[in-house]
């Protein structure tokens, strides 16, 4: 398999977009697509798509394009979403509940198996069939169930301590919504820090950049 260390972060960041677009095309009944047509769907260039996918092998055929179904399977393998990664969620506040109730984890090959909190108001409840346990039971649960991923929705001042605890429990990756950046170098496992404010500020930037009246000034 390809050496992920030799693949740029920019390419990796585009892989979920390829996967999402191809899944939509498959749902619409599209069986094959050219790099030119795929580029038009994604606002990229055909050469960029061919270059990105060449990092992982040759999936297209000249004069034929890409088989949508086959490319989906390859991207599932590359992204590691072909199986069922088991996840626990920590922090069942408003955001945690919204994720449990509304987010389609299965699209990413992830299956939540439990949530944890310190509040007696939510301990013992379940959200879409996901039971909420007391946080002090985390170690015992992880020893028994061996979750792969932790979804972190705890307050910022608790994020580092809780994440270190998760690493000791054997969790192999953290999806972090705590509004503080955790470092993979510190924890020794992959971390994806999600900052909603970054996305909103990028939107504001693009609005300002395209507004002839210099929006916001």
The pLDDT value given to residue 47: 93
Give pLDDT, residue 214: 62
Q: Report the C-alpha gap between 186 and 156 in whole angstroms.
A: 16
Report d(CA 179, CA 36) in Å as an integer: 38
Q: What pLDDT does residue 183 have?
A: 95
pLDDT digits (tens, 9 = 90+) for 125-157: 999 999 999 999 999 999 999 999 999 999 999
Q: What single string gives the DSSP state of each residue in 63-105?
A: TTBEEHHHHHHHHHHHHT-SS-EEEEEE--SHHHHHHHHH--G
User: Do residues 56 and 14 lie in contact, with contact meaning Cβ atoms separated by under 8 Å?
Assistant: no
Question: Which two three-digit tokens encode residue 16?
Answer: 């979920």
- pTM, to two decimals: 0.88
193 has pLDDT over 50: yes
Tell me what pLDDT residue 2 has. Answer: 46
pLDDT digits (tens, 9 = 90+) for 9-53: 899 999 999 999 999 999 999 999 999 999 999 999 999 999 999
Instruction: Indicate the pLDDT class of residue 64, thresholds 50, 70 and 90.
Output: confident
Rounded to whole angstroms, how far apart are CA atoms 127 and 149? 18
């Amino acid at each position: 398999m390809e050496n992920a260390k030799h693949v740029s972060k920019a390419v990796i960041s585009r892989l979920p977009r390829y996967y999402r677009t191809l899944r939509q095309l498959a749902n619409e009944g599209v069986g094959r697509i050219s790099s030119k047509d795929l580029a038009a769907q994604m606002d990229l260039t055909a050469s960029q798509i061919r270059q990105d996918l060449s990092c992982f092998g040759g999936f297209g055929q000249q004069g034929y394009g890409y088989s949508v179904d086959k490319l989906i399977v390859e991207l599932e393998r590359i992204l590691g979403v072909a199986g069922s990664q088991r996840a626990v969620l920590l922090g069942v506040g408003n955001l945690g509940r919204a994720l449990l109730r509304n987010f389609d984890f299965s699209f990413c090959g992830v299956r939540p198996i439990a949530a944890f909190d310190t509040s007696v108001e939510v301990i013992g409840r379940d959200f879409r069939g996901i039971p909420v346990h007391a946080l002090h039971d985390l170690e015992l649960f992880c020893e028994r169930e061996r979750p792969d991923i932790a979804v972190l929705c705890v307050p910022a001042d608790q994020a580092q301590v809780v994440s270190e605890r998760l690493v000791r429990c054997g969790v192999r990756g953290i999806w972090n919504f705590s509004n503080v950046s955790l470092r993979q170098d510190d924890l020794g496992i992959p971390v994806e820090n999600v900052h909603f404010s970054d996305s909103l500020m990028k939107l504001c930037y693009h609005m300002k950049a395209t507004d002839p009246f210099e929006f916001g000034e």
